Amino acid sequence: MHIKKFSAMLASLMLLSCFPATMNASANDAVIDTEGAVAIAIEQKSVTLEELRNQNYQVPVFVKMMENPGINAMEFGVDVDERCSYQIINDNDEAYELGNAFLNISMVYSSRGNFTWSVWGSSSIQKKTGINLLMVLVTVPETASAGDLFTVTYQPNNAQGGKHIYRNSATRANFTDISWTDGGVQIVDSETLRQGDLNGDDQINIMDVILINKAIYGKADLTPAQMKAADINGDGKPDANDTLMVMKYIIKLIDTL
């Protein structure tokens, strides 16, 4: 049997045998609360529309532990914007690729689109800071446009529906001072087109009107940035009203778009 697989199985057995006991602490358990803050950060990625298309609308968002006062077991939840689908990447092999070699085993519980994650780590994870805990591979809808924010947020709940848990399983110390920052995927525009200037030549003239009209009649495939520059009244699509406003601007009936 492959050594890595074997050690993952061993870790699973240890997890199954010891974790429930540590999670359901009774008064007899010598659990002590410990000073020291845990800080979790979920990345916020800015992605241009062009990058988004090139990577099939998939954006990796890492959940990181920024401060670790000595924890090797934890549970918490993460919610992903309901407009997105996602995968959780946290198995050992990929964790290595992610530079996350500290985790021995982890489990993800899925429920109604959200999930709770728990992990058991070896003692080597203790006090490690700035590490990736897991990766949420977010698939953004193809209708995404510049300015959209798809959130990935921390949830202070665990798989049992209770509060998040942070613990050192060896010393049985609980850590109760937890802070976190939410993140997600921010869509930014790679092109900076002025409203009305679809061809980006820094002039607003009949060429731009022609482009808008072509788009209205399905004869031009505009980039999302062009679509936005064409949508003068901001109702989500280029139409005759937008054409009229650009023409009024050209003949100086209005002075801004």
Interface with Ca ion (CB under 5 A): 197, 199, 201, 203, 208, 231, 233, 235, 239, 242
For 54, list phi and psi in degrees, rounded to 5.
-65, -25
Neighbours of 192 (CB within 10 A): 11
- Among 231, 199, 83, smallest CA distance to 144 is for 83
Least separation in angstroms between CB 188 and Ca ion: 22
CA distance 214 to 226: 12
Cβ closest to Ca ion, residue 79 vs residue 148 = 148
Helix (H) or strand (E) holding 35: strand 32-42
Cβ closest to Ca ion, residue 80 vs residue 229 = 229
Cβ closest to Ca ion, residue 81 vs residue 242 = 242
Which tokens is 96 given?
């290595």
Cβ closest to Ca ion, residue 61 vs residue 225 = 225
Cβ closest to Ca ion, residue 62 vs residue 249 = 249
Cβ closest to Ca ion, residue 43 vs residue 231 = 231
Least separation in angstroms between CB 49 and Ca ion: 19
List residues bridging with 18 in a β-sheet: none
Q: Taking a C-beta distance cutoff of 8 angstroms, is the pair 62, 97 a contact?
A: no
Q: Taking a C-beta distance cutoff of 8 angstroms, is the pair 186, 46 a contact?
A: yes
Cβ closest to Ca ion, residue 178 vs residue 232 = 232
Least separation in angstroms between CB 191 and Ca ion: 13
SS3 237: coil
Least separation in angstroms between CB 255 and Ca ion: 17
Least separation in angstroms between CB 187 and Ca ion: 20
Least separation in angstroms between CB 150 and Ca ion: 24
CA distance 134 to 90: 5
DSSP structure string for 139-159 = E--TT--TT-EEEEEEESB-T
Q: Taking a C-beta distance cutoff of 8 angstroms, is the pair 117, 106 a contact?
A: yes
CA distance 87 to 60: 9
For residue 58, count CB atoms less than 10 angstroms from its CB and return exposed for 0-12, middle for 13-18, buried for 19 or more.
middle
